[in-house]
Every structure is written in structure tokens, then in C-alpha cells.
Chains A and B, each alone.
Chain A
Amino acid sequence: MKLAKSFMVVLSLLILSTMIFAEPVVIRFWHIYDAGVAQQTVNQVVEKFNKTHEGEIKVESLGISFWDYWDKIRVSIAAHQEPDVFLHDLGNVPMRASTGVLLNLSPYLKKAGIDVNETFFEAPLNMGKWEDGIYALPFETDVRLLFYNKDLFAQAGLDPERPPQSWDELWQFADKITKKSSQGYYDILGFNPLYGQSYFWMYVWGNNGSFLDENGNLKLNNPTVVKSLEEWEQMIGRLGFENLTEFNATYPTGLNDAFVNWKLGMVIQNNTFFSQIENYAPDMNYGVTQIPYPKRPASWSNGFSIEVSSRSTHTEEAVEFALYLVSEYPQFLFAKNVSSLVGNRMAANSPELISNPLWKLAVETLEISQFRPFVLEYPLWYDDALQKAVDNVLYGRSTPKKALDDAQKIVDAEIQKYKLTH
């Protein structure tokens, strides 16, 4: 009897002690940085957070390879086992926000006294909005810039320190650099509008055009887009579409990239392309500038977001960590180590980073860059309907006006499909 009593006392003391020395709240964080400098930086950031929140919050961070990540996060959401905080695609936030699986961060941002317009770049921030809330915060983003080979410029008799300032100059310079072989294909091209990260929508934006009408609905066959496609067709027809396709097939991206192999005078690429040049063509003198434009400066961006699950059992702690991730110091660290653009304006404009001219140019370009508008009923409108229209025109199967009218018909059909099934 006495033994049993003392046993009960010890047991109840043990139970009491576990309640007093409570376990910290565990927040699960998934992201794509599973290797190299990016992974080290994220781990550093997470460790710092865990130290300052010792005993209260413990963040468990998991980096998954980019190629597997999207399937894994999708399956985890379907199984109701998604992490509390996760990285996702800044380009299609409404897809998730509209299903209720994301937490609206607006009230938390207000409570924390964060002025979103001051803190974040405008275009990436807008991609995280849906209806009246903010469901995603921009973490990592990018822009497209014009890289040019100064040595090829000099060889063609152009001033290597003077990149083209307008769209017309771009073609003037390009024509001087272009060399055709005796068999009729392009040995060296000055500029290829179908290569790298150069796309038709960027040209439309450069023409001060838009794919949306005043109500924010997709209107692919509006006059500016039609005119842009006519100009696009002319530009490419002048060089020869088959020749350009043959050139693209001969120099697929990667080790055989045309610019890196001195076969392309100017190329539109992601702002992180400089690392490829320095790896594969270290003795090339290259310059970077904003993409020339016919009417209005334009560039295009993609990005990764930080999102919080609305089904998390510890939303307060999850939001605290999410806000920390996009705050100035962690973003500055990420930008410095990984050389990739970040969503936090103040971090991006820090003096240490801005002293690098390429970084400064990228930040300036981010202020005028656009994301492809997201359309909930037809997310792949640009890859599907628009690309089909452009391809049909370039392959000579249709005229710009008719191709874009057909594309708009596809858009209308897709919206109808969405309405029937949702």
C-alpha cells in the first residue's frame, strides 16, 4: 500500500513536470533549397530564429529538390498534412488562395505594423494578393536583362561600352554582328528574339500593351496585341523563322548555350545568368543592360512566395516565422549569398548589395518588371492559347488577327469549362 502510494506521488510529479516544462511549438517549414549556399543560408536563418525563440517556437526546416518539390507539396496539401509554412510559386497564388487552404496574412501584417508597400517590391507583392487579402509574401524573384558580348561588338565595329538604347538600335547593332554561312544558316546571330528568355508577351509590354481589358479579363485579341504580333512576325520573318528554329535546335540551353559559345551577340536572360557566363566563358567581356523597348521599358519576372497554411494548429507562431523570413536581415543574407533578387525592398537596396552594378541594375529593373497576370479559370493561358497563336503565325498557318481571335475563342471555351466544373 505504501509502495503504491509513493509510486502515485512520483507519477503525478512527473506528469506535472511535463506540463510545466512544456515543449516548444513545432513549426514545419518546407522549401526548395536542398543544397549548396542556399541551403546553408536558410539553415542559418532558421537557427537564428530558433535561438531567439528558445523554448517557445522550434522551426523544423526541410529542403526538397526543386524537381520533386511541387508534387510533394501538392500531395501533402491533398492529404491535409501540409507544413505550417511553405515556399510556393508566386505566379499562381489565387489557385491556392481560392480554395481556402492559405491563411490571409493582412491582419497579421497590420498588427505587426508592417507597411507592405514600403517593405516589398510592388509587382511581386501584387502577385500574392487575392480579393481583399494578402495570401503570400514574395521571397525570391528575378528579372530579365539584356546581356551582350563586348568582344563581338568590338569585332563588328561597334562601341563595346555602348549597348543599344532603343529597339531600333538593337536591330541595327544585331545586323552588323550577324554572319551567315555559305550553306545559308546562321553562323553568328546578333540577336535572336526566340532565344533564351525572350518571349512575345515581353514585346507586347514593351509596346505598352496588355493582355487584360479594363475589367481585368483576358482579351488576347485587343488591337495592341494584334499589332505587336504583326511586328513580331515581321522581325522574325526578316531573319527567317526556319533559320532561327534551326539555330535554336543547334544551341540548346546549358553547355551548348549560344551566347556562352560566342554564337550570339546579345541575349535576353535571367539576371542570374552571369554565373553561367563566368563558369563557361570566363574570358568573355560581357555587359548587361535593361532590355531595349519600342515604347515602354519592360521585363518579366517569376518568383517564389512564402505562404502559411490556414489549417495550421499554431497560426500565430507560423505567421511569426513567415514574417521573419521576409524581414530585412534574412532577406539581405539570402540576397548576398545566393545572388538572387529578393522581395524585401529594404534588403535589396542595402548599400553593400547596391554597390554591385549588376545588382543595382536588377533592382531598378524589378521596379518596372511585370509578372504574367494570373487567370484563375485558365492559368496556362500564355503557354497554351497565346503560344499557339504565336506558333500558328510563325509557321505560316494563320494571320496575326485570325490567330489571336482563335486564341480568344480558346480562352472563352476554357472559362466556360471552368464554370461548368466549379
Chain B
Amino acid sequence: MSNTYKKSYIKKKRLKGYFFVAPWLIGLTLFVIGPIIASFILSFTSYDMINPPRWIGLTNYKILFTLDPTFWKALGNTFYYMFGSVFLKVLLGLVFAVLLNNAGKFMGIFRTIFFLPVVLPAVPVMFLWMMLFNPRSGLINQFLSFFGINGPLWLNSPVWSKPALIIMSLWGIGGIIVIFLAGLQGIPTELYEAAELDGANKFKIFWKITVPMLRPIIFFNFMTGLIGASQIFTEAYIMTGGGPLESTKFVNLLIYQLAFKDVRMGYASTIAVIMFLILIPMTLFLFKIYKNQTEL
């Protein structure tokens, strides 16, 4: 085979590849990248959806940093939920995965049970949780009363509303458990045997062998968990409406209200851009730590 024939053959294969990826690429451009760029441009305009967008330069950004305390409260709420939820989820997920790993023949059943909540439709589940959190008749406060504890008002208390949402998010721990279980299978058993021979107890084994070997997966779960948690919206929209006292006003909810209730599309886009500018460096920073930590 001559070289030119080989080159055109490879080129043809490459073109075929592009051709097959084209529909997805077109979809990505039209429905994801395009709107992101449009949102970025809209952030410099004032747009009420009736008249065309009006260019106002950096005015929206000036307003955000000087005239809008609500955004900072929303940002604080979002960070509280993000880190609270993800730390707990990853920690508990890891513990449960390790326990399940030693469950032998019951592992399959429990894995299914834990994963079930992940596939249930979100909105009915939220109504279910609202009933659970009911201060008088809900199961959670009734359970607490057995121990003589007077349960708080949960979703109706400005102090307990975010903890309530965090507890609710633990329901979806199944996905994390399944990924950790897969990771646990990959740890060589010789390490455990060697540790047991040296007389290490279960606790030491967990911290000195299991956790370090699972570092990449822990970081993966942590990162995807953070990005996912930063998008919290439906729970606040359906269960609390942002209250009480704006304790569950998350950034996504604020953007939605500004865009669709106040019809201030330009300003809503500005907040979206700012969130983008916060999450991207955060993700890059986490990636850097991940790179450092996994260089053994």
C-alpha cells in the first residue's frame, strides 16, 4: 500500500467519524453552547421579553455588587447546602459502601434497596418528604418524640430548613454507594491481608488503606456532587418557595424568579454568568488538589 492511499483511507475514516458525531455536535452547539453564549451577551443588556434587548454595558454587574444583598444571601445559602450535603453524602456513602462490601450474599439486595430512591420521580418524592417533615404528624418528629426530643419546625424554620434539605438529599446516596462499591472491588486483597497480619484493627484499615486507595473516586464523587448540589432548585421551588426568611433562597431559584416572575432576563443572565465564574475556578482548584493528592 502506498502512503497516499493510506492517508486518504485514514482521512475517510476520520470524516466518517465526524459524520457520526455531527448530530450530537449540532445539538450541543444549538442547545447548550449557543444559549450559554447568548446568556453571556444578555448579561450586558436589559431585556423584558417584549422589546428587543437593550445594551447597558456593565450596569447589571454594578447593581449586583452594590444594590443587591439578596444575591449574596442566596450565594451563602447555596454554599451551605453544597458543602453540607456533599461532605455528608460522600462520608456516609463511603461508610455504607465499606459495610456493604462485607455483606457477602446480601450485598446485591441492599445495593438495590439503596439505589431505588435515585430512580424515583423527584416531585412525588418531595411531597413525601414534606409529609415526613410535618412538625406535628410527620414521622421524623414523631420518631424524635420517642426520645423526648421536641422536633423543630424543619421546613418552616429559618434555622432548620437547610438542614432539612440536606437530610433529604441523603436519600440519593445510592448512586455514590454503587460507585464506591465498584471502586472497592479494585483494591487488591493482599493489602488487607498484610495489614491484618500486622495486627491493624478495622478502623486503622479503613483510614490507612481503603481511603487512600479510593482517593480518585472520593474526589470524583466530591466534585460531581458539588457541581450537582450547586444547581439545587426543584426542592426549594416546590417545598419552601425560598423561605422562610429567605433561608432556602438558592442562586438557581433567584435566577428563575428574576427571569420569569420579574421578567428581568438581563439581570438573571448576569447572575448566571457570575455563578459560572465562581464554579469554574472552584472546579479547577479541586482538580489541582486531586492531581497533587493522587501522585503517590
Contact = CB atoms under 8 A, between A and B. Distances in A.
Contact of B67 (A99, A250, A416): A416
Interface in A231-250: 242, 245-246, 248-250
A421 interface: yes
A421 B60 contact: yes
Contact of A250 (B59, B134, B246, B267): B134
Interface string B43-78: 000101111000010011011000110000000000
Contact of A388 (B67, B153, B155, B246): B246
| Interface range, B side | 20 to 34
Contacts, number: 68
Given A101-B50, A250-B134, A413-B67, A74 B155 contact: no
A262 B15 CA distance: 73
A421 B153 CA distance: 40
Given A185-B136, A421-B59, A421-B63, A249 B153 contact: yes
A242 B246 CA distance: 17
Interface stretch (B196-204, B257-265, B282-290): B257-265
Given A245-B153, A420-B59, A74 B263 contact: yes
A397 B158 CA distance: 11
A380 B263 CA distance: 11
Interface residues of A, number: 31
B50 A380 contact: no
A332 B253 CA distance: 41
A78 B46 CA distance: 14
A223 B251 CA distance: 35
B136 to A, nearest CB: 4
Interface in B102-144: 130, 134-137
A242 B63 CA distance: 36
Nearest to A252: B130
A249 B262 contact: no
Contacts of A250: 134-137
A391 interface: yes
A348 B59 CA distance: 49
A421 B156 contact: no
A421 B135 contact: no
B50 A246 contact: no
Contacts of A95: 263
B84 interface: no
**Which of the listed residues A246, A252, A392, A417 has the most CB atoms from chain B within 10 Å of its own CB?**
A417
A422 interface: yes
Given A379-B262, A392-B245, A421-B63, A74 B49 contact: yes
B60 A246 contact: no
A417 B156 contact: no
Interface in A64-93: 71, 74-75, 77-78
B156 A246 contact: yes
A96 interface: yes
A386 to B, nearest CB: 14
Nearest to B157: A245
Given A74-B49, A388-B246, 11 more contacts: A77-B49, A249-B135, A249-B155, A380-B261, A391-B244, A392-B245, A397-B245, A416-B67, A421-B46, A421-B266, A422-B46
Interface of B: 46, 48-51, 56, 59-60, 62-63, 67-68, 130, 134-137, 153, 155-158, 243-246, 260-264, 266-267
14 contacts: A71-B260, A74-B49, A74-B263, A78-B50, A101-B50, A245-B244, A249-B155, A249-B156, A252-B130, A379-B262, A388-B246, A391-B245, A416-B67, A421-B267
